[in-house]
Amino acid sequence: MKKYAILMCCMGNICRSPTAEGVLRAKLAAAGLADLVELDSAGTHGYHVGRAPDARSQRHALARGYDLSAQRARQALVGDFARFDLLLAMDRDNLAALDAICPPGDRHKLRLLMSFATRHAAEEVPDPYYGEGDGFERVLDYVEDACDGVVAMLHAEGLGSA
């Protein structure tokens, strides 16, 4: 059985998308779905390819139990649209960047991550890179909410059902 595949995307793949990957990975494990979902993250730009997530992102995530240390930044590629069932952008700019390389038949796979949120009204996950700790905490709050929604969607689609 082919795994359901999800790609988290932000600009550089060092703050928001690795955080989203780490949070969703933990939530999938807690929901018993880890073996049924392939998960990765990428940046729409190649600024940080090969680098570990931002130290601040790692520190704030680890304080909530999410270990991002094994992740390495990569750039999103056209081939990702064939590989992934869902590509989740952190904001509209990154959604537009993905749309610009998306094959026409795969546009249905593109969404904003926050479209899955139920507790926060924000439509985008703000970029914390130039800010302080409160921005990284806000990212975690938003991402945890939206990832709960992703898990609920996967259950609603029958993933993990006997």
Domain spans of the chain?
A: 4-156
Select which of 10, 15, 102, 147 is catalytic: 10
Its pTM surpasses 0.95: yes
Decide if 102 is catalytic.
Answer: no
Select which of 40, 91, 127, 148 is catalytic: 127
Q: What is the pLDDT of residue 84?
A: 98
Decide if 16 is catalytic.
Answer: yes
Distance (Å, whole) CA 47 – CA 44: 9
Select which of 9, 16, 25, 91 is catalytic: 16
- Reported CATH class of domain 4-156: alpha beta
Distance (Å, whole) CA 84 – CA 157: 16
Decide if 147 is catalytic.
Answer: no
In tens digits, the chain (162 residues) has pLDDT values of: 689 999 999 999 999 999 999 999 999 999 999 999 999 999 999 999 999 999 999 999 999 999 999 999 999 999 999 999 999 999 999 999 999 999 999 999 999 999 999 999 999 999 999 987 799 999 999 999 999 999 999 999 989 875
